[in-house]
Amino acid sequence: MYEEIQGAFAHLQNALHAFNLAWPAHVVSGVVWRLPLLTEQRTPDTLQAERLSGQEAVDATRRALAEFERDLGQAAGTVMRLPGYFVLCESPLEQVRQINALKDEVAAAIEKLRLELNLVPAARPRLMRRALGAKFNTKQLLRHIQCFDGSPRLITFTWAGHTTATGRISVAKVRETLQAGAEARASRENTNITDTPEYQELRTLVNMADTEMLAERKSVAPHPRAMLWFSDSSRYDAMVHANLPIFVTAGEQPPEVMELKNFDRNARQAKRFDEKRRTEVLPFRDLFLSSRKTEEAASVPDKVKEADVASTYRT
């Protein structure tokens, strides 16, 4: 049953092993920051970023690239992160693209089995752990490595503390969830279904079509991110999650680097002044009318491509 997932994972392991043997020989410079593992599903008010350089940084990165299992004491649902960068004298872009493609093949194999077994999307991590091991972490396994075949003039590492992730969900799915919740509450509390809060929320959706899509907003835990400038523009050309070190190519001048600082919840930056305003559909459920700007965002030009820099960015 799990052979396809296991086979795809074996190919990924082989590619990562070959990559870890090759890239360290081309390092010109690099720094990473070791962050403490989270022992609970909540980011503490402060996090100390331990700066590593030289061979220590290389060794830590080689381990992080191939570390897919939760460490001792690491809380379920959290990830190991090692933000940083390496400047290489020879671009590893093609190897990195191959590794990312193999990660996608592992994800596709998991999804194929889920569909064959007619399971809900939330079953993907369970299928992955049954195939590969009880301690395997989906996010650590499937997250991509970022590589730029170009020399940035500036790299800035910061903490993203007010980020939200926006997904899309159909009105039909929301109705299904609310109906099930209303029935369960009515049975549990021995009350009329029409008196439940879930039923009242269902009435709010009465004039909406089942096919209409709503925006579902969820807060994302504070995490490190990296911004890179390749052009002379005042605005960054690329911004990526700094879950793993970024690989860039050496140029005539080394990049200026604004290093990652310790995280302090009380000292973090204020929320963006231009935060998008949305029309709320259901109070307390973070469901909003879908914004037309989603399609517009997809048409925003890729500044990395415009700077003639091949990369894994936005792929």
Per-residue pLDDT of the chain (315 residues; tens, 9 = 90+): 899 999 999 999 999 999 999 999 999 999 999 999 988 888 888 889 999 999 999 999 999 999 999 998 898 888 999 999 999 999 999 999 999 999 999 999 999 999 999 988 889 999 999 999 999 999 999 999 999 999 999 999 999 865 555 677 888 888 888 888 899 999 999 999 999 988 888 888 888 888 888 877 666 678 899 999 999 888 999 999 999 999 999 999 999 999 999 998 887 555 544 455 566 777 666 676 776 544 444 445 566 666 678 999 875
pTM for this structure?
Answer: 0.78
Kindly give, in sequence order, each residue whose CB lies less than 8 Å from that of residue 272, ignoring residues fewer than 6 positions away.
162
Decide if 231 contacts 185 (C-beta within 8 A): no
Residue in 243, 233, 220 with CA at minimum distance from that of residue 301: 233
* CATH code assigned at 243: 3.50.14.10
Cβ-Cβ contacts under 8 Å for 189 (sequence gap 6 or more)? 196
144 domain residue, yes or no: yes
- Number of domains the chain is built from: 1
* Three-class secondary structure of residue 265 per DSSP: coil
Terminal alpha carbon distance of the chain: 30
28 domain-assigned: yes
* 170, two tokens: 């159909």
* Residue 116 located in a structural domain: yes
**Residue 310 resides in a domain:** no
**Residue 243 counted as domain residue:** yes
27 located within any domain:
yes
Residues 6+ apart with CB under 8 A from 225: 157, 158, 159, 160, 239, 240, 241, 242
- Look at residue 298 and tell me if it is in a domain: no
Its domain, for residue 111, covers 3-163+220-275
Q: Which two tokens stand for residue 189?
A: 């509390």
Rounded Cα–Cα distance for residues 123 and 100 (Å): 22
Contact 49, 158 (CB under 8 A): no
Residue 40 inside a domain? The answer is yes
